[in-house]
Structures are given as C-alpha cells and as structure tokens.
A and B are shown apart, each in its own frame.
Chain A
Amino acid sequence: MRPKDEVRLAKIRKISWVLGAICSLFMLACLIAFILSMTGPIFRHGRYWGKGILWQGYNGVEFKVYSLTARERVIVAISLVLEYGAAFFCGLQLFRLLRFYSRGEIFTADSARQLRLWGFACVAWGIVKVGWFLLPLAIADSRHYQRVDIGSTVFVGLGIVALSWIMEMAVEIREENELTV
C-alpha cells in the first residue's frame, strides 16, 4: 500500500473507533430512554394518579396519561418497545459496521453485507416511526405536540442499501486488483 493510503487508512480506523464509541452511547441512551418511558406516568401510578389532566410526551406524541385505558396502555407499551428496539437495532448494526472499519476491513464482503444490514435496520426504524406517528389514531387521548420526521429514515435506509450494492462491486474490484501482479 502506498504511504498516502496508509495514512488515510489510519485516519479512517481512528474516526471509525470514535464513531463506534458514540454509537455505543446512542444505544445506551435508547436503553435508558426506554426504561424511563416504561416507568413513566403512563404505566406507573404516581401520587397524583387520577387527579388533573397531565399530558406526557414521547417522541412527538403526547398522551393524557391518567385517562388511558388498559388496552391503550398495552398499545403504547408495544409501540415503545418497537420504537426504541428499532432505534437500538439500528445503532447496533452501525456499531458492527464501524467495528469492521476500525479494523481496516473496508472493502470486504462482510463489511458490504453489514452495510446492507444497517440500511435495512434504518428502513425498519423509519417504518416504526410511521407507526408511532399514527398512534393518535388508535388512542383517544393523545395528540402530536411537535413535527415528527417520518419519511427521511426510510429513504436514507434505502440509499444505504443501494450503497451496499456498490460496495459489493468495489469488493470484487479490490479482490481482482489484489490478484493482479
């Protein structure tokens, strides 16, 4: 490898390691946010239970927590599991991809496959976001309190999947180049 390429590879490895660490924090944040949501006023009886009209918001959707029925709480619980689960899964796939890059394995079949997995994870997260956006249709005492971005994650995911196909071609070219004496 040329010295210029070695310097570039070293930089990529370093940056990938840092991004991987940030990814780990993101996954941890997802986990903490999920635990806080599940132990929040929607599912836990606090001292003001049954009094007042407390609105609690999660990811752009607000719930009138004290008037939710049991069925609605189950729907919200499942939606929260899907929402944070999809985000965590997306972060995990990105973390695995960055781990390949931090080892210098950029144009390999495994990293191209992992890139595709990350793309599909983003698409799944985008679809789950759409479901979360439609939650007020299923739950009477809920509303949107801020604009929710519902489409971009799906398109970004599809773009990443397309990029993975290009990466697979790059892997073939690299392998052919390595076997050129």
Chain B
Amino acid sequence: MPIVVNVDVMLARRKMRLNTLAELVGITAQNLSVLKTGRAKAIRFSTLERLCDVLECEPGDLLAYEREPTAVLASVEAED
C-alpha cells in the first residue's frame, strides 16, 4: 500500500512500548499492531489526533506516501 505508517519509528524516538501507547491512545494493542504492520485499511481522525497528542508529533511524522514503482512508470509513460 502506498501509505506507510511510521508508528514504530515514533515509538523508538519516544522510547515507548506498543502496549503503553495503545493504553494511552485508548485502543487495543491488537488494533495498534494492525496499524503498525500496515494492514489497516483506514484510520479515524480521532485516533490520529490521539496518536499525535501522545507521541507529540505531527500527522506527517506518522504517515508517509511512497508511490509504487508501477505507478511511477505509468505516470512517466503518460507524460511522454
């Protein structure tokens, strides 16, 4: 999936454990694991807000967009 979730990077920076973060954010560790491993299909704004609040960061620190190689090739072909 092009959207990459960098929760583990922020966890390492804040030296926090997954279970602790889950407890502070108010979601289950299983749900947070789903987010961390990139299996999540969507994230609620309320969850994102709480994550940013607990990890003291911006949404851009947690979410990144990595365009897939096939998508890059298609856009280059379209420009030609």
Residues of A participating in the B interface, judged by any CB pair closer than 8 Å: 176, 179-181
Contacts and interface: CB of A to CB of B under 8 A. Distances in A.
Contacts, number: 22
Interface in B36-55: 39-44, 47
9 contacts: A180-B41, A180-B42, A180-B43, A181-B31, A181-B32, A181-B42, A181-B43, A181-B44, A181-B47
B27 interface: yes
Given A179-B34, A181-B40, 19 more contacts: A176-B41, A179-B39, A179-B40, A179-B41, A179-B42, A180-B40, A180-B41, A180-B42, A180-B43, A180-B44, A181-B27, A181-B31, A181-B32, A181-B34, A181-B35, A181-B42, A181-B43, A181-B44, A181-B47
Interface of B: 27, 31-32, 34-35, 39-44, 47
A60 to B, nearest CB: 53
Contacts of A176: 41-42
Contacts of A179: 34, 39-42
